[in-house]
């Protein structure tokens, strides 16, 4: 999604933590988890049964929310995992500039022009399809932006009937 790398540690700074602990067995699909110091959306969770070698284990498959890479981790289900504080905000799409920046309408009527479209081809084709449909169906395109600490990214596009 962005060429710059974001690395996040679970250490607190200035009194604010970037993550919070959550028991691995309670993390579900579509939730968030930190895998290899990267904030990820969980796309798959499987749990093995308790065996002769100890705890039941959770196998997590996550997609990095900033670069779209698939990451995996295996954690004992009774142990804590780091879960990122992720803020989700929805905006209405106004325009897309030639250089890939989106112009967005906030809830209070202001515009936000500092987010660039992701470079993920599947997401870009989804956006172009939605834009083509808005001409015919009069849809409102809603952009979901995820923010983790001070880094923002466009995460998903959706069309809402007006």
Domains of the chain: 19-84 (2.30.30.30), 86-161 (2.40.50.140)
- Given a contact cutoff of 8 angstroms between Cβ atoms, the answer to whether 153 and 146 are in contact is yes
Q: Assign 12 a pLDDT band (cuts: 50, 70, 90).
A: very low
- For the chain, give the percent of residues with pLDDT over 90: 30
Secondary structure element (H or E) that encloses residue 94, with its range: strand 86-96
Separation between Cα atoms, residue 11 and residue 14, nearest integer Å:
10
pLDDT for res 97:
77
Rounded average pLDDT over 73-80: 94
Q: What is the pLDDT of residue 49?
A: 87
Computed over its alpha carbons, how large is the radius of gyration of the chain? 18
30 φψ region: left (φ > 0), alpha (ψ -120 to 50), beta (else)? left
**pLDDT tens, 120-132?**
666 666 776 776 6
What's the distance, CA 25 to chain centroid? 21
Q: pLDDT tens, 95-106? A: 777 777 778 888
Between CA 83 and CA 156, with CA 32 as vertex, the angle to 5 degrees is: 145
Give the mean pLDDT of the chain: 76
Q: Which residue has the tokens 């106004």?
A: 94
Q: What is the pTM for the complete model shown?
A: 0.67
Is pLDDT at 79 greater than 50 in this prediction?
A: yes
Average pLDDT of the residues in 63-91:
88
Compute CA distances 29 → 32, 43, 135, 142, whole Å. Answer: 8, 5, 34, 23
Please compute the mean of the pLDDT values over residues 79-89 and round it to a whole number: 88
Distance between CA 104 and CA 97 in Å, rounded? 11
């Amino acid at each position: 999604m962005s060429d710059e790398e974001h690395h996040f540690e679970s250490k607190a700074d200035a009194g604010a933590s970037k993550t919070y602990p959550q028991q691995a067995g309670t993390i579900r699909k579509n939730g968030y988890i930190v895998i290899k110091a990267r904030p990820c959306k969980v796309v798959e969770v499987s749990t093995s049964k308790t065996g002769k070698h100890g705890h039941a284990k959770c196998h997590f498959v996550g997609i990095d929310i900033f670069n779209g890479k698939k990451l995996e981790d295996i954690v004992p289900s009774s142990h804590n995992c780091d879960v990122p504080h992720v803020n989700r905000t929805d905006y209405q799409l106004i325009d897309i500039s030639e250089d890939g920046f989106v112009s967005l309408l906030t809830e209070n009527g202001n515009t936000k022009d500092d987010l660039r479209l992701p470079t993920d081809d599947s997401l870009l084709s989804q956006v172009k399809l939605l834009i083509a449909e808005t001409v015919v169906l009069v849809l409102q395109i809603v952009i979901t932006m995820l923010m983790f600490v001070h880094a923002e990214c466009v995460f998903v596009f959706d069309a809402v009937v007006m």
